[in-house]
Chain A
């Protein structure tokens, strides 16, 4: 082979190893006792393995310069994940499979996964709670992500359409209020609400009885509710019930109770 010859002309496409075309002194195979691996002439081991002689770096660069014309650039605006989410809230995930076998097709290729953050959808409080109840396990509270995986149709396009249809139906159904939703009990509630709860009744009764015992001016329930001490108590109880018992929450509750019952002296 001439020294100045272009290698990409010798191996333009994937081809089996040809010892006379490749000028390298390659040896491959298991050596005989006290010998060296066999040379490249008539060496089956070198012919068996896939070689990358047609994909040398200069050849790859040549291919890429030719392919560059068909590529488009990514918009410079969408450089971070947050911006992508802001403009494009829905993410569709699909998987393609390439393998050699009797058939090109893979039945797993029809699965489509749709992911969307509920904060991007136009939902009010009731609609969001209803949607989460409808969807069940498909919603993750930590990331606020709804994941719909569809594979019941034979084609990927059909599964994608079905996924979008599900999203649309869920959205519109969650805005509807059915008659039987009025029968929602306290056990169904997702979070603790202080209004009309036993805690509110107890606190107000206690305060009214304290006021009556001290024979101070008559204060109505509404005024008590509006006062700052009761608000403080309400926030600490709600935090405890909804977020669980953390150090901060318990300390806040202690302080609010002390203010409520005028117990500063006992510290």
Chain B
């Protein structure tokens, strides 16, 4: 299995295929503007390496094919080819990779020190995987308090008060591809400690679909005219 990375295209010029790897057909098209295809890195059958042998890694990262995306593929760097060729667990699929402009991970917990350790872990993991971190901040904690009667019957003057403290930590990452986001999020979520919840906000980038490029009334009118005349 080989992986390819997209590269920049000059506007209106056709790029050349550089050492296109075995089995991959590069279709060059001079497209006004920039176009590229990134192939998704999927995991082939088999167990996850090293430490997670006990848990099964789920199915392939198959996503809905967005047929409206016009992607053109071209070759990647030589080093990438080798790295992915050796690893038999990686399988490359032809569908275009989704792009996330921003990924916001908010963790909530009752214990601040647990969140501190988790933040250290998440930040180190992001750095090691090469994900750019935009901001790591701590939203203010929220305390929910309520007052209940201490006794089951009468004694209205004697109450007991409880509170629940929720601490937050927000980690904002930017410019992630779908494969990287899936990998990172799965790693983060499997190591989520007990008693900690997480909310992930993903901002996906998409092109304008084909049916919005031009109003459809012109085509309809011409179709009607031809139908009436014929």
Binds A, one of B18-26, B152-160, B205-213: B205-213
Chain B, Cβ-Cβ closest to A75: B6
Proximity string of chain B (201-220) to chain A, C-beta cutoff 8 Å, 1 when within and 0 when not: 11111111101111111000
Range class of the A interface residue count = 35 or more
Chain B contact-residue range equals 35 or more
- CA–CA, A73 and B176, complex, Å: 8
Choose from A70, A75, A98, A176 the contact partner of B179 (Cβ within 8 Å): A70
* CB within 8 Å of A: which B81-110 residues: 83-84, 87, 89-90, 97, 99, 101
Known: A78-B175, A95-B201. A64 touches B208 (CB 8 A): no
Majority secondary structure of chain B interface residues (helix, strand, loop or mixed):
mixed
Q: Which of B114, B179, B203, B206 contacts A50 (CB 8 A)?
A: B114
A208 on the B face (CB < 8 A):
no
Given A71-B179, A74-B176, verify A50-B195 contact (CB < 8 Å). Answer: yes
Pairwise interchain contact A100-B197, C-beta atoms closer than 8 A:
yes
Are A95 and B51 in contact (CB-based, < 8 A)? no
Interface string of B186-230 (1 = CB under 8 A from A): 010101111111111111111111011111110000000000000
Report whether A64 and B129 are in contact in the complex, using a CB–CB cutoff of 8 Å: yes
- CB pair A72 B180 closer than 8 Å: yes
- Determine the distance from Cα of A152 to Cα of B200 in the docked complex, in whole angstroms: 21
Bound-complex Cα distance A122 to B211 (A): 11
List 6 tightest A-B contacts by C-beta distance, closest first.
A64-B128, A50-B193, A88-B205, A175-B215, A99-B197, A71-B180
Q: Which residues of A contact B (CB under 8 A)?
A: 8, 12-14, 49-50, 52, 54-55, 57, 59-79, 81, 84, 87-100, 116, 120-122, 127, 157, 164, 167-168, 171-172, 175-176
